[in-house]
Amino acid sequence: MRLRNVKNKEEILNNCDYLIKNPESYQGKWKTLFKNDNPIYIEIGMGKGKFLIENALKYKNINYIGMERFDSVMAKAIKKIPESIPNLRLIRMNALDIDKVFSKEIDLIYLNFSDPWPKKRWYDRRLTSKVFLDKYDYIFKDTKRIEMKTDNEDLFIYSLESLSKKGYTLSDISFNYHQTHSDIIMSEYEMRFSKEGKNVYHLFAQNK
């Protein structure tokens, strides 16, 4: 993926009140930052932020945290935030460090159009690999819930298998999600794929 540089990205990041510069210091106590006991949903790889921002605006009783590793992408997302959103926070970090930032406090993870890492030697980098699923064990508050969308069939099949092996119960499995779901909040990628007529794969996974 080739990323376009964003002019003044450092200034945008440094001046953003939503971006948490020291996320490790909030491990186990994110509710103190939000100042409530509402559920916390995180999106790993939030991209330009459309999905996360629209959800935070629509569902005020849920706290949303977006994670993104690339500075330029995060800067683009910040520029899209239209107004004060008290239930929204952002983290710029590599998902491999997720268990250093959260501890038994996350209610749901969104994985929207994650990098498929297509070569077999890269499979451990997939966000539904055992490497990451083991890390998620440490951050879920109680019941583990993961909602995933992708346009990559190979990644989808892989994820169905890896989540099942980890003990997750799978539901709402769809190989053409937009055929049966229309009134949904879409990410930028999802809107593009929908317009192009590409299949969007979806699953919901839960492990008690």
Cα distance between residue 127 and residue 136, in whole Å = 10
What's the one-letter identity of residue 74?
Answer: M
Q: Which of 115, 137, 151, 172 is catalytic?
A: 115
Output the DSSP codes for 12-80: HHHT-SSB-S-GGGGTT-HHHHHTS---EEEEES-TTSHHHHHHHHH-TTSEEEEEE--HHHHHHHHHH
Residue 44's DSSP bridge partners are 67
Cα distance between residue 67 and residue 65, in whole Å = 7
115 is catalytic: yes
Q: Which residue matches tokens 């268990």? A: 99
Catalytic site positions? 115
